[in-house]
Amino acid sequence: MPSELDDLRLIQEWKQGDEKAFETIYRKYLFFLVEIAAKKLENKNQALDLVQDIMLEVYRSKEILTIHTTLQGYLLTALRYKVFKYKKDYLVKIQEVDNENVATLNSGNNVFEYINRKELERKLRSIVTNLPEQCRKVFVLSREHHLSNKEIAGEMGISVNTVEQHMRKALRVLRQIIKYK
């Protein structure tokens, strides 16, 4: 790396309108800074983009170079902040993607569970429809209307024991059919 005096001379020439002085600064520091950034980012293309951003900021504002430190020190500090910001932004993006993926998976599972539940309900209704009439009435009053065995017996005019037998039969049929499907 050339000396600080060379840098001060180049800065002065550039501030006085000599564009070639900035080109010299650019060429002198570009690869040096890219190599440092590439080691920190493990991505040479991204490193080049960050260094280009820094050089563009320097070019747009000559006042940046009225600093109390060396040009190399300024560029290294700017690079450190750019790398830090890039890594921070990258981690935020990864977290957002992870959150979106979890939400998508969860909503996918909910949809899948909903479809399965609806399919199971459809099959259950079909099985219940095919039960013998008395057995079906007992099952519907118990499971859909939430009546107790005693209430069902009173409503249907049968004994509690007969209600229990119809429920056992309905549940046995349901278990057998669901077991084989």
For residue 66, the enclosing domain spans: 4-96
Residue 122 lies in a domain: no
Q: What is the CATH number for 173? A: 1.10.10.10
Whether residue 118 has pLDDT greater than 90: no
Task: Tell whether 149 and 72 lie within a shared domain.
Answer: no
Average pLDDT over the chain, rounded to whole? 83
pLDDT in tens, 48-103: 999 999 999 888 887 766 665 788 888 999 999 999 888 888 777 777 766 666 66
Domain count along the chain: 2
Question: Could you please report the per-residue DSSP string of the chain?
Answer: ---HHHHHHHHHHHHTT-HHHHHHHHHHHHHHHHHHHHHHHS-HHHHHHHHHHHHHHHHH-GGGG--SS-HHHHHHHHHHHHHHHHHHHHHHHHHHHHHHHHHHHHHHHHHHHHHHHHHHHHHHHHHHHTS-HHHHHHHHHHHTS---HHHHHHHHT--HHHHHHHHHHHHHHHHHHHHH-
Lowest-pLDDT range, 6-15, 17-26, 48-57, 169-178?
A: 169-178
Which pLDDT does position 1 carry in this prediction?
45
Which pLDDT does position 24 carry in this prediction?
92
pTM comes to 0.51
